[in-house]
Structure 1
Amino acid sequence: MMIAFVMTLVVAGSLLFHFLSPWRATPIASNWGFIDDTMALTFWITGAGFVAVVLFMAYCLYRFRHQPGRRAAYEPENRKLEAWLAGVTTIAVVALLAPGLLVWNQFITVPKDALEIEAVGVQWNWSFRLPGADNQFGSSDIRYIDSTNSLGLSPVDSRGQDDLLVTNGELHLPFGKPIKVLLRSIDVLHDFYVPEIRAKMDLVPGIVTYFWFTPTKLGEYEILCAAYCGTGHPQMRGKLIVESEGDFATWRAAQQTFEQSRKSDAGAGARASAQ
């Protein structure tokens, strides 16, 4: 009797916490409202299942509680009940999985006009690369990483000489344009995550992963690492600035190319040697 009452209170408390809780998702700032909708559908279906199962258990505990002289009826199978439960479960599972598959298909299908950028994670900083005037990325390899080439770009690949390097952790993107984010890790597993974007992806050492989104709100957002990557994990943060096309073009024109960066580092090294 008491257990049935406690289970009923658990259901009531869970519902009150969900509807009255002040902790909600941050306002969305990308095209991935589909992900929010799928999450909401998941909460409704699983929530309804949780309420139904727990209340049914509480009812059974109360209805079939021990009473003097009462004997249990043995019923080894009930085909009607089994068919009903199998049907409801099948519908619920399809309703849970089908929207997710549709959203995943959109998630991996990048628009042809998307702007490609690269995000590189290393303990515990974010760096970025944008294609230069040729609109192509040069190749990269960890073997090329040294004090003057932190992203490991190939010094002999002509396509990469005009690549734009952003090493201060601040990424600017144009408003309303699809963005394909290529993800590369130099050391351990990282995860590129902007809560307002609703999309994230792991950076896996040795391979290049990707995801895409379209910024739909001007403003500044925090870039986080959502995979525990060592003692400095909480400090691995960057900044995403979504701005107008004109402001983005101005910022992009001010960035240093890979070729300029190497010449600058070589000049600094020569001056240091002279001193």
Structure 2
Amino acid sequence: MAIAIALILLVIGTVLFHFLSPWWFTPIASNWQMMDDTVHVTFWVTGIVFVAVNLFLAYAVIRYRHRAGGEKAHYEPENKKLEWWLTIVTSVGIAAMLAPGLSVWAKFVTVPDEAAEVEVLGQQWNWSYRLPGKDEALGKTDIRFVSIDNPFGMDPGDQAGQDDVLVASPELHLPLDKPVKMLLRSKDVNHQFAVPQFRVKMDVVPGMVTYFWLTPTRTGSFDALCEQLCGMAHFAMRGRVVVDEQKDYDTWLAAQPTFSKTQAELTGNAETGKTLFATCTTCHGAQAEGNRELNAPKLSGQGKWYLAQQLRDFRNGVRGTHENDIYGKQMAPFAAMLADDTAIRDVVEYIASLEEARPPASVLGDPERGKTLYATCANCHGTQGQGIWATNAPRLANMSDWYMQRQMQNFREGIRGKHPQDFRGAQMASMAKVLADEKAISDVLDYVHTL
């Protein structure tokens, strides 16, 4: 009897929880209302079966419970009439769930002729995007061409790709009420691109291009997620899709670089950079060796791509604007003295030419314990702390440990990584919490100093 009561309460509680629950679909922002309708059909079919089966079980437990001197169970191994009924009812239920889904899927991959194309490129643990240029055609790509200077793997010999628009940021903009075909490509492992408000998701598979289409129906900013377990930082692989009015979209698009422009701006002028760096020497030193007394970290030996990225972030207000980032606020106006990306490239090129010295250890801990804790960090920063551009992870080995200690604390406390455009900082803020306390940070940094 207790089992029967438990089954009845389970049914009542489940139904009440569903209808009274505050968790439901996010407001839809695309043309795929059919996705919601299909889920609703599935819910009603499975919900009715769940209620019917469990109430029948409760009825059977009560009706056929043991009674002293009661009827004995009748063994009937086959009942063709019952089996036919069960087969028919089950088939109807399965068809009711599958048919709408197949119909929606057919429409999901049948792209309208007028749809524009956008390529989504997935990698551990970042999204980037590519759009056709004025010729309205995407150029050829090949994984063989992927490098630090050509992260999209563009074929340099294909003229159709020279005007392709490259969006290195995880933020993509789309125009309102215009259909768009999303082409999905991976550089490493399986990912899955999903935007819940659009009701779209699709696997991103190495070696092939998958696709779907949608029409954004309201302006706003929507999270882009990876919903395929793709590695250590899978949970932090987030992007953003912003739907704009046409005028705002055109403004954003015009500010994005083409492939030919990125290739023309690969190398800076070290001689020009030497002049620009003269101001920086006051804090960072003549050889960019860093100065702890002036809160200036070592720059020499750091990856050029990372130095350029951070200078742009300071200049654009992505870093150095948090009220508690005292030293970041000091750096921001100096970065603003570099007038444009050309100046940044020149300074970085000069820093790369400087002779590198090994800084002394100033953060002491337990390096053996730190070696164990560093195993997580190695997934991005490399086993020798050398830094890996593909995972947006800077070099750690032979850099200022006191500076890294402060930045870890800033990430953990939300001082760094909170700006809406600091996607890479937000990832690091999540990963920094893997280290439970200051001792763990000290242990890791003491181990890093041995690399």
Q: TM-score range, shorter-chain basis?
A: over 0.9
Partner of residue 55, structure 1: 55
Q: Distance in 1 between matches of 2:269 and 2:82?
A: 79
- Partner of 1:171, secondary structure, is strand
Partner of residue 5, structure 1: 5
Partner of residue 202, structure 2: 201
**Shift, 1:191, TM fit:** 1.0
**Shift, 1:239, TM fit:** 1.4
Q: Distance in 1 between matches of 2:115 and 2:183?
A: 12
Paired residues for 1:101-116 under 5 Å:
101-116=102-117
Partner of residue 187, structure 2: 186
Query: Partner letter of residue 37 of structure 2?
Result: D
Residues paired across the two proteins, number = 275
**Shift, 1:231, TM fit:** 1.6
Cα deviation code 1:112-164 (max 9, x no counterpart): 11110001011111111000010011111111111110111011100000000
**Shift, 1:222, TM fit:** 1.1
**Shift, 1:84, TM fit:** 2.5
Query: Partner letter of residue 177 of structure 2?
Result: G
Partner of residue 242, structure 1: 243
**Shift, 1:108, TM fit:** 1.0
Which ranges of structure 1 fall in alignment gaps of 5 or more residues? none
Q: Distance in 2 between matches of 1:94 and 1:268?
A: 67
**Shift, 1:236, TM fit:** 1.3
Distance 1:42 1:265, change over 3 A: same
Q: Distance in 2 between matches of 1:102 and 1:220?
A: 29
Partner of residue 82, structure 2: 81
**Shift, 1:218, TM fit:** 0.5
Partner of residue 176, structure 1: 177
**Shift, 1:187, TM fit:** 0.9
**Shift, 1:87, TM fit:** 2.2
Partner of residue 36, structure 1: 36
Q: Distance in 2 between matches of 1:150 and 1:74?
A: 69
Q: Distance in 1 between matches of 2:200 and 2:153?
A: 26
Q: Distance in 2 between matches of 1:243 and 1:73?
A: 69
Q: Distance in 1 between matches of 2:269 and 2:217?
A: 41
Q: Distance in 1 between matches of 2:121 and 2:169?
A: 12
Q: Distance in 1 between matches of 2:84 and 2:204?
A: 45
Cα deviation code 1:213-245 (max 9, x no counterpart): 110110111111111111222221111110111
After TM superposition, the score normalised by the length of structure 2 is 0.59
Paired residues for 1:62-141 under 5 Å:
62-70=62-70, 71-141=72-142
- Partner of 1:242, secondary structure, is strand
After TM superposition, the score normalised by the length of structure 1 is 0.95
**Shift, 1:92, TM fit:** 1.2
Structure that is richer in strand per residue: 1
Query: Partner letter of residue 252 of structure 1?
Result: L
Query: Partner letter of residue 68 of structure 2?
Result: P
Q: Distance in 2 between matches of 1:81 and 1:207?
A: 48
Cα deviation code 1:163-222 (max 9, x no counterpart): 000001111100001111111111111111111011111111111111111101101111
Query: Partner letter of residue 173 of structure 1?
Result: L
- Partner of 2:68, secondary structure, is coil
Greater Cα radius of gyration, structure 1 or 2 = 2
